[in-house]
Amino acid sequence: MPLSPDLLAAVEAFAGRPTLLVATDFDGALAPLVPDPSDSRPVEGGMERLTELAALPGVTVSLVSGRALRDLAVLSGATPEMVLLGSHGAEDSRHREGLALTEAQQALLAALDDELATLVEDHPGAWVEHKPAGRVVHTRRMDPVAGPAALDAASALGARHTALVATPGKEVVELAVAHVGKGAALLGLAEDLGVDAVFYAGDDVTDEHGFAALAANDREERAARRLTVRVGDGETAAQHRVADEHELVEVFQALLDARR
C-alpha cells in the first residue's frame, strides 16, 4: 500500500526541521513479532534506512524497547551512532555503566524470582525472560486459554508487590524493579539532544505512553512538531498509522527522501 497523502505531507514538514530525533520501537514495529523472541530480526531494509538516516547531518536515530539493552543491541545490529534505550528506558547505551540497583531492588528481584518459579510450575508453557531490572513472563507459545490465565497470575503477582511496576504487552507481562517508561525516556532523550522535532513509531501499549508524552511535551513547539505513527491496528494516541513493519520502512524511506 502506498503511504497516505496525510502521512507523506507530515513527513515532508517533519523532515524540514533543523534537528531531528527519529526513534522507533523494535519488536512489532521494526522487527516482525515471532514466537521465540530470540529469533527476532529487523524487517528487510529497516536498519539500512535507519543507518542512512543516522548518517545525515542533524539527525539522531534511536531504538526504544522493553528489551534488555544487550539483547536490543545484538538483535537489531544497530550502529554505534544510534542511541539504544532498553528496558523501557531504564538502560541507555550512552551510559556504559548500566544499571545500579539498590539493595532493596535486588532483594525484590530475588523474591520475584522465587514467586515466578512457582508461577511457571503452575502454568506450563509460560517462560520467564531475565532482564537487568526485571523479569518478563511470556505466553506466546501457550494456547488461547492458558496464556491469558498465566498473564493474569503475573499481573496479580505484580499487584501484591507495590514496588514492582507491572507493564502488560502482547502476550507478555513485565515486572520491573526500576522503571522509566518509554514516554519519559523519549522526552529525556529529546531534551538531552536539544532536537527541534521527534518522530516515534511503535505497535504496543507501552508505545502509547511514548505517543502521549510527546503530545503533552512542555516544550509546546516540539510537541507541535512531533510525528507519531502506530504500526498495526488497535486504539492509538498516535497521529498516523501504517499497516505493518514493511510500511514503516517506507516511512523511513520517505523521511530520507524528504531530508535529502
Using CB under 5 A as the criterion, which residues of the chain lie in contact with Mg ion when the complex forms? Answer: 25, 27-28, 203-204
Q: Which is nearer to Mg ion, 148 or 234 (by Cβ)?
A: 234
**Close Cβ partners of 177 (under 8 Å, ≥ 6 residues apart):** 101, 105, 108, 109, 112, 133, 134, 163, 164, 165
CB of 90 to Mg ion, least distance (A): 16
- Tell me whether residue 210 or residue 222 sits nearer to Mg ion (CB atom): 210
Q: At its nearest, how many Å lie between Mg ion and the CB of residue 25?
A: 4
The least CB distance from residue 206 to Mg ion, in Å, is 7
3-state secondary structure the chain: CCCCHHHHHHHHHHHCCCCEEEEECCECCCECCCCCHHHCCCCCCHHHHHHHHHCCCCEEEEEECCCCHHHHHHHHCCCCCCEEEEHHHCEECCCCCCCCCCHHHHHHHHHHHHHHHHHHHHCECEEEEEECCEEEEECCCCCCCHHHHHHHHHHHHHHHCCCCEEEEECCEEEEECCCCCHHHHHHHHHHHHCCCEEEEEECCHHHHHHHHHHHCCCCHHHHHCCEEEEECCCCCCCCEEECCHHHHHHHHHHHHHHHC
Q: Which is nearer to Mg ion, 92 or 204 (CB)?
A: 204
Min. distance of Cβ 212 from Mg ion in angstroms? 16
Count CB-CB contacts under 10 A for residue 103. 7
Report which residue's Cβ sits closest to Mg ion. Answer: 28
Q: How far is the CB of 137 from Mg ion (least distance, A)?
A: 16
Nearest residue (CB) to Mg ion, 19 versus 239: 239
Nearer to Mg ion, 91 or 203 (CB): 203
| Least distance from Mg ion to the Cβ atom of residue 91, Å | 16
Closer to Mg ion by Cβ: residue 187 or 231: 231
- Among residues 32 and 98, whose Cβ is nearest to Mg ion? 32
Considering the complex, what minimum distance in angstroms separates the CB of residue 163 from Mg ion? 25
